Every structure is written in C-alpha cells, then in structure tokens.
A and B are shown apart, each in its own frame.
Chain A
Amino acid sequence: MRIRQRGLVPGALSISPLLAARVALGAFGVWVASIGLRALLRGHPFAANAPVGRWLIGGVLAHDAIIAPTVFVLGAVTVRLAGPRVRQALAAILLIGGSVLIVGLPDVLRKGHNANPTVTPLDYTRNLIIVLLAVVGGVLLTTAASALWRRRRVDEEDSEVQDREVPETEVQEPEIQEPEVQGSEAPEPEVQDREGSESEVQDPEAPDPEVQEPEPQLSQLQDSETDDAVVPIASTEAETAEE
C-alpha cells in the first residue's frame, strides 16, 4: 500500500498507458525466456549445463573481445590512412566478406570429415575464394561507378549546397508520458526540409540520407569533416527516461 501511495505522489510517478504496455510486454518477455530457462535446467544437475554456459559466454567473448575490437581497430587505422570513399569500400568488403567468411568457413573446415558424402559435397575452398573475390570486385565496381556519378551530380548541384550549415531548432516532443521525459525543453537541431538543399548534406544534422536522398554525397563528407565545430550542439535527450 505504501508503495502504491508513493507511486501516486504528484509529479513523481504516474503510470501512463504506454509505460504500462511496456511493462506488460517486458513481463511477457521474461515469461517467454523462463520457458526456455526452465526447460534448459530441468532434468539434470545444474553443473551439467556448463557446456551450454561456456558456449553462451564464449560467443559473447568471441564477439566483444575479438571480432569487434579487430573491426574497430581496423576502422581507426583506415581513418588515418584512407579517404572516405576508400573507407566506405573497405567497410563494405569487411561486412560482406566477413559474413561470407563466417558462413563459408565451417564448410571449408569440415570438408571431407563427414562419412556422409552428400554433406559438404562442394569444393568450398575454391567457392569461398570465388565469392570473396566477387565481393571485392563488386564493391570496387560499385564504388567507382557511384564516384563517377556523384562527381557529375555535385557539379550540377553545387550551388544548392550553400545553405547546408543553416541550423534550425525544433521542439522535441516527448514520446511517453513519463515524468523525466522533458525533451520538450530540449532544442533539437533540425533538419533542412527543403527538397533541394538536403541532398548534398552529410553532416550529422542532415536529414537521413536513405530517406530522401538518392545517394550519399561522399565528396561532401570530406568537406564537412573539417568543420565539425560549426555544428550546433543539441541537448541530449535522456534516453532512459523512467528514472
């Protein structure tokens, strides 16, 4: 009872329908997870789950301690060594090629190990090389083609780029009825909505490229890198607004 009353103190906590729905959804998720957890733990001593636990934690460690740091270090290195277009191509090769490698490597490693010859019947080493080369070739071709295309477009629309630094503010609307969401006071740098002007902008205040813009303008990226400081600051909206 006391807890309820405390919860009803004006301004402290009023449960909005949206929050109630989220709490219900979260509780449902906990229940769903508990189905699997109970099944996992049932019928054998707790210690028998050690192999499952090792693979669960091992996967997280493999990603968070090996794969991700490698990718971020590679990214940091290329930032110093290469221009944006090259970096973009390298990132594409890394993601597509990395995915292909994860999918194809087990086939390569297990080729010939199964007594059943219809499992992994192909020459996966050769195929993996073919696919990886095709990925590299495809990315490079795409990059070259879009670079040509962009250069042409930039020439045409150069004049419209001028107003891209003009910021505007907008009142951010709160998404949930929770006390801490007071985003309405937070001025939000806003986006130029005009059809013509946004297409060349790549700075963070720009409208989302994939929404309105046919193609990101990498040549503009290079420009904007030099003038980060011009971009106005916006206050951070408290993301976990429930506190």
Chain B
Amino acid sequence: MARLTFPTPPGWLRRGPLREGAFRSSLHDERTAALIGTALGIAFTTAFLTGLISHELQLRHPPTWIPDRPVWIYRFTQGLHVASGLAAIPLLLAKLWTVYPRLFGWPPLSSIRHGLERLSILVLVAGAIFQLVTGLLNVIQWYPWAFAFVPTHYQVAWITVGALIVHIAVKAPAIARGYRRPAAQPPSEPAAEAAPAVAAAGEPVAEPSVAESTKPRFLAPRPGTVSRRSLLITTSAAVGVVTLTTVGQSVTWLRGIDLLAPRDPSVGPQGVPINRTAAQAGVQTTALDPGWQLEVDGPRPFQLTLAQLARLPQYEAVLPIACVEGWSVNGTWSGVRLRDLLDRAGAPTGADIRIVSFEKAGFYATTTMPREYARDPLTLLALRLGGQPLSVDHGYPARIIAPGRPGVLQTKWVQRIEVL
C-alpha cells in the first residue's frame, strides 16, 4: 500500500467544520452509514439493472435474455427504475448527512491511497446526485442542460456504479464493523490532534461543540439529538411518502394518491397519457389525410386503406403502454395482427421488420422490431383504443402496440412496414 504520506497542515488551519468535534451528533457513525448505505446501494443497484434492461430493449436487436412475457414486464422494470430512483433521493440525503463530517476529516490528505479514496467518493457523490437530478427532471421532460439525456444518463450510470463498487471494496471493513457492532461508535481519539496519523479516514465522531471553550479531554459522542432508530424510521418514512405520492403513475390502483407524480395515468386522450402529441410530432394534418394508405413491403408488397384494414380480421389485446419516464397504463387495443400483415406480404417468419412513421423529425420515427415481437400473436397494428378509433395523439390512423416494449418503440402514425 502507498507508503507515501503527506505532511499534516498546520493546526491553525483547522477551523470551522474542520475543527475536531465540529459535528456533534453520534449518528455520523459507521453503523448509521452502513445501514442507510445498504438501502441506498440496493436502490441504485435496482435502478442500474432496470435501466440496463430499458437500454437493451431499445437496441436495434434487443438481447434474447429479456423475455417478452409477462406483457407488463417493461411496465414493471421501468416503473421500478423510476420508483427506485425517486426513493434514492431521501436515502441519498440521509446518507450524505451521515457522512458529511468526513468531508472535513483531518488531515485532509494523508497519503496517495487516501487521496484516491477521496477521489472515488467524489466520483460516487457527483455521479449519484447527477443521476438522481437528471432522472428526476427527465420524467417531466425538463432538459435545462446542454447534453443529450439518454446517452449521458446511461454513461454516468456506469461511472456511478463503478464508483459504488470501489466504495464498497474500500469500505468493506467499515461496513462489516457497522453491521457487527451493536453500539455506537467509540468516541474520537482525544490524542488525534497530537498524532493525527492514525486514520486516513479516522472516525470523525461527533462531540459537543458547546463545550468548546473547556475542551474536555475525553469527548464521548454526545447522545444524538435524534436517535439512530428515529433517523432510520424518518428516512423510511421519507422513502414511503415520496414513493406513495408518485408511484401511482405506474401502479394504477394507487393513482388516487399520486399527488406529485408527473403523470396521471388516467389523464390523456381516451384516458391514456401520451409522450409526444401529434402537434409536437408535426403530424396533425397529415394524420387526418383521408388518402392515407398503409404500405407493407415484402416479397408481395401491398397497400391498404384504413377502411380495408378495418375489414381484415380484428383482434383485441389488453396491453400496457409503458414509457421510459416511468408512467404506464393498460389499454384495450384492437386492430390487425402484425403477423397477419406480414404473412400477407409473404415475409419469411424469421425476418425482422422496420416500422416507419410519417412523423418527420422524431428520434423514434423509425423502429426496428425483432422477429419475436413481430410474430407475437398479441402484437397489433392498432386502429382502436378502448373501442374508439385512435385519437390523433395516440397515432391515428394506425399504430403499433406490442407486449413488453418501451413506449417510444410503439410507433405511432404508421406509414410503412418493411421486411428486413
């Protein structure tokens, strides 16, 4: 390990939050940090894994390990992604409060190893805050920054989780102590001022600052003004309140209390929210063009008007529309099975397809659909939602709805289906 140690800065620099005992609560200890850190680690791991699933599903060739059943699988994983991110907000606040005194540990830098450790924590904290802030704003489609959200959120996720793994490796002994030891931390070393070398991250346990003037030699961590139990209950309550007031956007039976959810799953045309309106997509007039015809390319290409499509065998499927922003709701869709259209065009069963919208600029105006979804009996070219013709915001005259796919891939305003 790094033998190189740095000199300790002169003591008179040790002022304000840097002075010994500046933080009084006994809850800045290993046990509290370990317990809250565990919950936070679980929340971040959940968000990371569900985020990976969402990312993979949006690749041109989604990996086969992500099943397309149950039909609500993406609804579940993405709802969980957003919920775990929101739940991580109070957890991160509590965790950072617990370890905040360590920011002012003395000496600030004792060795290269210590410097690397502090750097890894900077990366972790920066990444964690970044992920939660960008995610929180993305769910309301607010982008007050000059970078692309999707790739950046994804890349910083890897950096953050990497830093989290490093953090767990570095702190493993402290975590183990935190779990093993039922008592609060031992008080900080009174001799630390004279011999500060002990700890790269010596326990900066709290002590009373009111007693500053007398500088007692033996400073016990003052019994916190808040007990650990109370802090943990409070943190859990914060997680509960944040979750209950937002999760109704994906857990429909809780939508009565989704006071702070950016979406209400019942608010929208035909009772279903939308991610991109016809006006935003610039298709308000083209969508209503009576001359619209669906084009299906393939060995036996054909075109069908809306009336002709409506005369083909119609199927009904109850499928969720589930958005990357976390909201989701079931809809009763009806229309023509995609596989029937592909058979009619003579498409081989092993072919992937491309769906082209007449939406012009959108990032998702063109979607590639793997054969598993294209041949799924539940995948529809939907003409109706809830028994009514699609509203123009829902993709009139025809849209794709398939099980287990992110909402952005459920292409609206379909113009053409191509066999690849």
Instruction: Tell me which residues across on chain B come within 8 A of A96, comparing CB atoms.
Output: 90, 234, 237-238, 241
A9 contacts partner chain B, Cβ-Cβ < 8 Å: no
A35 contacts partner chain B, Cβ-Cβ < 8 Å: yes
Q: Nearest chain A CB to B234's CB is how many angstroms away?
A: 4
B100 with A99: CB separation less than 8 A: no
A51 with B200: CB separation less than 8 A: no
Kindly state the separation between the CA atoms of A81 and B238 in the bound complex, as whole angstroms.
25
A236 with B203: CB separation less than 8 A: yes
Closest partner residue, chain A, to B170 (CB atom): A26
Which of B64-72, B263-271, B361-369 forms part of the interface with chain A?
B263-271
B184 with A206: CB separation less than 8 A: yes
B158 with A208: CB separation less than 8 A: no
* Contact partner, A221, options B190, B219, B227, Cβ 8 Å: B227
B326 contacts partner chain A, Cβ-Cβ < 8 Å: no
Q: Tell me the number of A-to-B contacts counted with CB atoms below 8 Å.
A: 336
Most chain B C-beta atoms within 10 Å of own C-beta, residue among A98, A104, A119, A241: A119
B276 with A116: CB separation less than 8 A: yes
A144 contacts partner chain B, Cβ-Cβ < 8 Å: no
Closest partner residue, chain A, to B264 (CB atom): A121
A84 with B220: CB separation less than 8 A: no
Most chain A C-beta atoms within 10 Å of own C-beta, residue among B23, B125, B145, B226: B226
Q: Nearest chain B CB to A221's CB is how many angstroms away?
A: 5
Known: A115-B280, A120-B140. Is A209-B227 also a contact (CB below 8 A)? yes
B241 with A99: CB separation less than 8 A: yes
Instruction: Tell me which residues across on chain B come within 8 A of A120, comparing CB atoms.
Output: 140, 262-263
Chain B interface mostly: helix
Instruction: Tell me which residues across on chain A come within 8 A of B155, comparing CB atoms.
Output: 36-37, 39-40
Closest partner residue, chain B, to A222 (CB atom): B223
Closest partner residue, chain A, to B161 (CB atom): A32
Q: Nearest chain A CB to B220's CB is how many angstroms away?
A: 4
B200 with A240: CB separation less than 8 A: yes
A204-243: CB near B (< 8 Å → 1, else 0) gives 1111111111011010010011001101111111111111
B11 contacts partner chain A, Cβ-Cβ < 8 Å: no
Closest partner residue, chain A, to B183 (CB atom): A191
Kindly state the separation between the CA atoms of A22 and B184 in the bound complex, as whole angstroms.
25
B216 with A25: CB separation less than 8 A: no
Instruction: Tell me which residues across on chain A come within 8 A of B229, comparing CB atoms.
Output: 208-210, 213, 215-216
A107 with B184: CB separation less than 8 A: no
Kindly state the separation between the CA atoms of A103 and B93 in the bound complex, as whole angstroms.
12
A88 with B225: CB separation less than 8 A: yes
Q: Nearest chain A CB to B342's CB is how many angstroms away?
A: 32
B188 contacts partner chain A, Cβ-Cβ < 8 Å: yes
Kindly state the separation between the CA atoms of A96 and B89 in the bound complex, as whole angstroms.
10
A-B contact pairs, 28 of them (CB 8 A): A18-B172, A30-B162, A33-B158, A36-B160, A40-B155, A55-B147, A56-B156, A60-B126, A99-B242, A102-B136, A107-B140, A110-B142, A114-B141, A121-B263, A121-B267, A122-B259, A208-B183, A209-B229, A216-B229, A228-B219, A233-B218, A236-B188, A237-B177, A237-B203, A238-B202, A240-B114, A240-B200, A242-B1
